[in-house]
């Protein structure tokens, strides 16, 4: 259940290829696989397990068990803080190989993956780890001697998360870090184009000694795996970054199941308004950079340039 990926500079890394469910890497229930391409060459990079509905069910069962027995209200803020910080330390210790893996699988430069995406992800983990013991309720003043009122913040439960391909590690952490900090358990589906770094992050979570079922990674297609997550009756919350078209499908599936909470990041990004006083050549450079970073993925409907000068295209 592993494959060897050739990295840059002659280095190699062994990556688990199974689904990560209940702290185990396992094949899909019916042997389904998907092949991720090398974006630089178009050649096949790795073949990994693709989750079926049955596999999603198993992941959700593991996440629910963990939520009710070892995580959620059964864990302490200090425990969650310690484990998340330990995970951040392991990612930092492996930052170079992770950056090269991200570059091979996603196509972005190694320096960008290392110095922007992964360093930000480590910071994201540590930020939320620091919040673990600061999730608090409040008391509400009432008439003396009649009643007392207070609020208590509690975890939602099992969170299904679906992320895009443009920032595989960063999007993973933006979704997972706050959910785990608050005591939720996670079933996450990476984009089928960039599944490898999530599997490596799962290995490091296992090394950090998260309890079984707290984090589950189910690679697969949106039509099967993503749809199964969206419709699942025992998932309490969905978080999705992607296209508006897919967001509508997720919202519809959630509404027809258990009315789970849904958070959607959809549509176009990086609109630019250009005024008459600008250096148009320099503006074009910056707009192209915005498009390079943000356009071309399915969650970005388009980066538009609105120019008030009639003579400029």
pLDDT recorded at residue 313: 37
Identify whether residues 199 and 289 lie together within a single domain. no
Q: The domain containing residue 234 runs over which residues?
A: 2-136+155-265
Q: Which of 24, 68, 92, 265 is catalytic?
A: 265
37 and 94 together in one domain:
yes
Specify the pLDDT at position 276: 87
Judgement on whether residues 168 and 278 belong to the same structural domain of the protein: no
User: In this predicted structure, which of 23-32, 40-49, 75-84, 296-305 has the lowest mean pLDDT?
Assistant: 296-305
pLDDT digits (tens, 9 = 90+) for 234-272: 999 999 999 999 999 999 999 888 889 999 999 766 677
Q: How far apart are CA 37 and CA 58, in angstroms?
A: 28
pTM score: 0.86
Q: What is the pLDDT of residue 84?
A: 98
Looking at the DSSP bridge assignments, the partners of residue 241 are: 265
Report d(CA 115, CA 97) in Å as an integer: 13
CA separation for the pair 287, 244 (Å, rounded): 23
Task: Take residue 28 and report the two structure tokens written for it.
Answer: 């899909």
Residue 270 pLDDT = 67
120 and 25 share one domain: yes
Regarding whether 43 and 76 lie in a shared domain, the answer is: yes
154 is catalytic: no
Instruction: Please tell me the distance from the alpha carbon of residue 31 to that of residue 41, in angstroms, as a whole number.
Output: 27
Instruction: Answer yes or no: is 96 within a domain.
Output: yes
The answer to the question of residue 85 being in a domain is yes
Give mean pLDDT, residues 45-56: 97
Q: What number is the average pLDDT over the span 95-104?
A: 96
Look over the chain and give the mean of its residue pLDDT values, rounded to a whole number: 90
Mean pLDDT of 265-289: 83
Q: Which of 115, 99, 70, 89 minimizes the C-alpha distance to 211? A: 70
Note whether 225 and 295 are same-domain residues: no
Buried b (16+ CB within 10 A) or exposed e, 62-71: bbbbbbeebb
| pLDDT over 90 percentage in the chain | 75
**Within-domain flag for 124:** yes
CATH code, domain with 20? 3.40.605.10
- Assess whether pLDDT exceeds 70 at residue 142: yes
The answer to whether residues 64 and 126 belong to one domain is: yes
Can you give the pLDDT at residue 11? 87
Burial status of residue 188 (CB atoms within 10 A of its CB: 0-12, 13-18, 19 or more): buried
pLDDT of 33 strictly over 70:
yes
Residue 243 lies in a domain: yes
For residues 183 and 62, give the distance between their C-alpha atoms in angstroms, rounded to a whole number: 15
Same domain, 93 and 217: yes
Cβ atoms of 274 and 290 closer than 8 Å: no
142 assigned to some structural domain: no
d(CA 197, CA 189): 12
> Between these two residues, 176 and 268, which has the higher pLDDT value?
176
């Amino acid at each position: 259940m592993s494959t060897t990926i050739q990295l840059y500079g002659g280095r190699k890394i062994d990556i688990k290829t199974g689904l990560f469910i209940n702290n185990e890497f396992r094949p899909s229930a019916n042997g389904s696989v998907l092949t991720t391409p090398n974006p630089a060459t178009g050649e096949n990079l790795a073949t990994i397990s693709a989750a079926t509905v049955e596999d999603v069910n198993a992941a959700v069962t593991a996440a629910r068990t963990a939520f009710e027995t070892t995580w959620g209200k059964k864990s302490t803020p200090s425990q969650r803080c310690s484990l998340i910080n330990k995970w951040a330390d392991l990612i930092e210790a492996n930052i170079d190989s992770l950056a090269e893996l991200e570059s091979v699988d996603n196509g972005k430069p190694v320096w960008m993956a290392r110095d922007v995406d992964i360093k930000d992800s480590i910071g994201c983990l540590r930020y939320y780890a620091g919040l673990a013991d600061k999730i608090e309720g409040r008391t509400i003043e009432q008439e003396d001697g009649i009643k007392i009122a207070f609020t208590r913040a509690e975890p939602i439960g099992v969170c299904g998360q679906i992320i895009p391909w443009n920032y595989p590690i960063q999007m993973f952490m933006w979704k997972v870090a706050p959910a785990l900090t608050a005591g939720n358990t996670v079933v996450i589906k990476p984009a089928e184009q960039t599944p490898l770094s999530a599997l490596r992050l799962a290995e490091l979570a296992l090394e950090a000694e998260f309890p079984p079922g707290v984090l589950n990674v189910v690679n697969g297609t949106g039509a099967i795996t993503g749809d199964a997550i969206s419709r699942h009756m025992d998932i309490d919350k969905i978080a999705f970054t992607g296209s508006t078209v897919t967001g509508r499908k997720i919202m519809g599936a959630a509404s027809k199941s258990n009315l789970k909470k849904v958070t959607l990041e959809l549509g176009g990004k990086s609109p630019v308004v250009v005024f008459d006083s600008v250096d148009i050549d320099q503006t074009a450079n910056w707009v192209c950079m915005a498009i390079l970073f943000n356009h071309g993925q399915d969650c970005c409907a388009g980066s538009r340039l609105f120019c008030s000068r009639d003579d400029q295209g």
